[in-house]
Amino acid sequence: MEETLVDWSRAQFALTSIYHFLFVPLTLGLGFIVAFMETIYVKTGDERWKQITKFWMTLFAINFAIGVATGIIMEFEFGTNWANYSWFVGDIFGAPLAIEGILAFFMESTFFAVMFFGWNKVSKGFHLLSTWLVAIGSNLSALWILVANGWMQHPVGMVFNPDTARNEMSNFWDVILSPVAVSKFLHTIGSGYVIASLFVVGISSWLILKNKDIWMAKKSMIIGATFGFITSLFIIFSGDESAHQVALTQPVKLAAMEGLYEGKKEAGIVAIGMLNPNKTLQNNENAYLFELEIPYILSFLGYHDINAYVPGLKDLVWGNSKQNIMSTEEKIQKGKLAVKAFKEYKNAKHADNHEKANEAKMVLDENMAYFGYGYLKKPEDVVPPVALTFYSFHLMVILGIWFMILFALVLFIVKKREISDYKLILRSALWSIPLGYIAAEAGWIVAEVGRQPWAVQDLMPVGVAVTNISSTNVMITFWLFAVLFTALLIAEIKIMAKQIKLGFEGGH
């Protein structure tokens, strides 16, 4: 498979995913914030709360409509660019995506129409129910998509059928309730809630700075900051569980996240640091040009034990018999046995040689856990881009801490009579809106770049997963999508900016 085809296919999917996740998190969180606001309106009967609800609902609708387009394109790309992957995992990967389309997306789309167009056409109670169902439906959509992604990170609940060359689901609940999938879902929706909270707090801050709709802006800010502060705390706990699952199922990713080359007990986490660009697996140079380390934290995050041994990249590539860590070279040999046995099984079945087919299947079953390693060229191929993974992880953590501090500051000033005097905090809130998206995208870089070279962890490398088509075709569609998605993003920002400038009392 030509390298440029793999690179362009990866670039196209990354482009689509990055743009898609500029729209998704706001949908996840703003739906619930709008539902909270409408609940207050229904309980109090205060028409000002109806204005507040309709203002944020309009912004939600703009974002929702444009986000759907990128999501549909991303699902089509599995078939067009990743046909081998889709064949290999379709029986498992397709199930949660089908449920997402049939159940969750259908539910949110149906009640979205009632929520947005049903004012004064249905009862207050039914309209409120519709708003809540849209919020819940959006999050259910995320659940099924993240279950599929979690399975790619840690494939469970399936068996490989050598007759069809497909993985087939053996236990639906193992797939759905996989700790990796659950932690990924909780952490991802948590980031969406924080982004939506930053959006509400930031826009409200802008309105206050412009001395516009102060009462409604402050009420919006209270809900946004409260929701944001609570979900920021939630993200800390879900992030802890995510790190624990990464340590158990993707130790190479954890080592890359911390630039850890030499494994050690009582491992600390680097709070601030700069990697040494000359550091490789083969040399003994220091991994960092400088670092500020907090002792014990990495061992605790990874294994919930401050004394735990955290394997470094050298352990995981070259092996460590003292820690009972198998070398990648040994995994490659087992993978080659599996690949060879698979081919022998197919040939034996074709020749109607059942005895030889059974022998080959036994070898395949024994080594199937390492099947993907059989396609790697050298042990070092299992190491992802360390610098990109490391800096993305630390940027995400630093920004997450800042958001929690910001929400606390906003809650402190929001009840002040002269809130407009706190211009620095208000401007910080406004400019933190894009930082929320940067933090979320950094998290996805950690998740996806950090697991390279795998399309499916340990079972299928990216180079094998790609469709055998012309790289020129992929290149052309990459640039077409880049233009299209950028135009959609600009359109959304312009439409939203126009609506925001109208304020709470405009456009209703």
Is residue 243's pLDDT more than 50? yes
Name the pLDDT band for 330 (thresholds 50, 70, 90). Answer: very high
The predicted model scores a pTM of: 0.91
State the pLDDT at residue 444: 93
Is residue 116's pLDDT more than 90? no
CA nearest 369: which of 156, 68, 137? Answer: 156
At a CB cut-off of 8 Å and minimum separation 6, what does 235 contact?
187, 190, 191, 194, 400
Over residues 163-177, the pLDDT tens digits come to 888 999 999 999 999
Helix residue ranges, H only, 268-327:
297-303, 313-318
Name the pLDDT band for 441 (thresholds 50, 70, 90). Answer: very high
Tell me the C-alpha distance between 150 and 320, whole Å.
28
Query: Is residue 146 within 8 Å of residue 188, measured between CB atoms?
Result: yes
Tell me the C-alpha distance between 393 and 129, whole Å.
38
Angle between helices 471-502 and 3-44 (to 10 degrees): 20
Mean per-residue pLDDT of the chain: 90
Angle between helices 3-44 and 47-81 (to 10 degrees): 160
Is residue 44's pLDDT more than 90? yes
- In angstroms, the first-to-last Cα distance of the chain is 57
State the pLDDT at residue 2: 53
Instruction: For residues 64-68, give the mean pLDDT.
Output: 77
pLDDT greater at residue 109 or residue 227: 227
State the pLDDT at residue 343: 93
Over residues 117-134, the pLDDT tens digits come to 888 888 899 999 999 999
Residue 406: CB atoms within 10 Å: 23
State the pLDDT at residue 250: 94
- What is the share, in percent, of the chain residues with pLDDT greater than 70? 98
At a CB cut-off of 8 Å and minimum separation 6, what does 111 contact?
129, 130, 131, 133, 134, 137
Radius of gyration of the chain (CA): 25
Is residue 401's pLDDT more than 90? yes
Name the pLDDT band for 3 (thresholds 50, 70, 90). Answer: low
Report residue 439 as tokens. 């933090």
Over residues 451-500, the pLDDT tens digits come to 999 999 999 999 898 888 888 888 998 999 999 999 988 988 999 999 89
Query: Is residue 389 within 8 Å of residue 445, measured between CB atoms?
Result: yes
CA 93 to chain centre: 16
State the pLDDT at residue 1: 47
Report residue 329 as tokens. 């070279």
Instruction: For the chain, give the number of residues.
Output: 508
Instruction: For residues 331-353, give the mean pLDDT.
Output: 92
Which residues share a beta bridge with 158? Answer: 169
Tell me the C-alpha distance between 264 and 9, whole Å.
37
State the pLDDT at residue 35: 95
Is residue 75's pLDDT more than 80? no
Query: Is residue 461 within 8 Å of residue 375, measured between CB atoms?
Result: yes
pLDDT greater at residue 49 or residue 506: 49
State the pLDDT at residue 117: 87
Over residues 187-199, the pLDDT tens digits come to 999 999 999 999 9
Name the pLDDT band for 65 (thresholds 50, 70, 90). Answer: confident
Q: Contacts for 67-70 with beta carbons within 8 Å, 24 or more apart?
A: 67/20, 67/23, 67/24, 67/26, 67/27, 69/488, 70/16, 70/19, 70/20, 70/23, 70/485, 70/488
Name the pLDDT band for 508 (thresholds 50, 70, 90). Answer: very low
3-state secondary structure of 272: strand
Burial of 19 per CB tally in 10 Å (0-12, 13-18, 19+): buried
Over residues 346-392, the pLDDT tens digits come to 998 888 888 898 999 999 999 999 999 999 999 999 999 999 999 99
- What is the share, in percent, of the chain residues with pLDDT greater than 90? 56
3-state secondary structure of 468: coil
State the pLDDT at residue 366: 93
Give me the DSSP letters along 113-182.
HHHHH-TTTS-HHHHHHHHHHHHHHHHHHHHHHHHHHHHHHS--SEEEETTTTEEEES-HHHHHT-HHHH
Return the minimum-mean-pLDDT range out of 55-64, 74-83, 143-152, 388-397.
74-83
Angle between helices 3-44 and 423-449 (to 10 degrees): 140
